Amino acid sequence: MNDFPFGLVGFDLDGTLVDSVADLAAAVNHALAEIGRPPLTIEQVRPMIGGGSRVMLQQALTATGGDERLDDLLPEMLAFYAAHIVDHTRPFPGVLEALDALRKLGITLAVVTNKRERFSLALLDALGLTDRFSCIIGGDTPGLVAMKPDRAPIDLLLRKCGNSGPAAFVGDSIYDVDAARAAGVPVALFAPDGGGVPGANAVFADYRDLLPTLTRMAKAQPTI
């Protein structure tokens, strides 16, 4: 037994566990180039990430002149991304150590992302991360009725792994915060560049601080 306050910790993927913005931006720019649009910078693409591939491309198209070609370009973008999924994507510093520390305590770990399941699995497999997680829920996982910020993905997580004990969620965006809070799960926000999202129960900037952050977050909750 241990006195860690959570038995289950779920994580978002892009922007939370892995820094994937360069590969996502390359895929977006490949789609834009197909219709002669100018490329976007990584910093322009970064805030477009989190709502799933369709939302990301729609925002990129809107920013460069209109989204009337969205349905045509989405398969092009996804095919390019599948071929370049970990060209530059890497876990954030300290992620592996934090995950392994949680597992050593017997904590059940999961991924809940709006990224399509096949891409989520391919990315995690390529980085050697898959085996660290008891379940992986993507934006199109069977049984899922809606993506974050809807609470449905967190509810599915709890149905699959909820017997592990009290749950917490770790994310980096308003999609994560809104979904977790709607499901009644406390949420810690990973914000390596500072800032925050309204509604987060806690904020941390370095994965070396993840376990202490979760512990402090639990103590601040009236019930867990």
Q: Which of 84, 112, 89 is nearest to 20 (CA)?
A: 89
Residue 163, pLDDT score: 80
Q: Which sequence spans correspond to the domains of the chain?
A: 8-19+90-220, 21-83
Tokens of 79: 């095919």
Q: Which of 74, 55, 75 is nearest to 147 (CA)?
A: 55
Tens place of pLDDT per residue across the chain (224 aa): 478 999 999 999 999 999 999 999 999 999 999 999 999 999 999 999 999 999 999 999 999 999 999 999 999 999 999 999 999 999 999 999 999 999 999 999 999 999 999 999 999 999 999 999 999 999 999 999 999 999 999 999 999 987 888 999 999 999 999 999 999 999 999 999 887 789 999 999 999 999 999 999 998 876 43
Query: Catalytic positions, please?
Result: 12
Residue 196, pLDDT score: 79
CA distances from 137 to 8, 10, 106 (A): 14, 10, 20
Residue 222, pLDDT score: 62
In eight-state DSSP terms, residue 14 is: B
Which element (helix H / strand E) includes 190?
strand 187-190
Q: Cis omega before residue 149 (within 30°)?
A: yes
- Contact by Cβ (8 Å): 18, 123: yes
Tokens 């699959």 identify what position?
A: 160
- Top-tier CATH class for 8-19+90-220: alpha beta
**What are the contacts of 69-72 at 24+ separation with CB within 8 A?**
69/35
Residue 224, pLDDT score: 38
Q: Which fold has domain 21-83?
A: DNA polymerase; domain 1 (1.10.150)
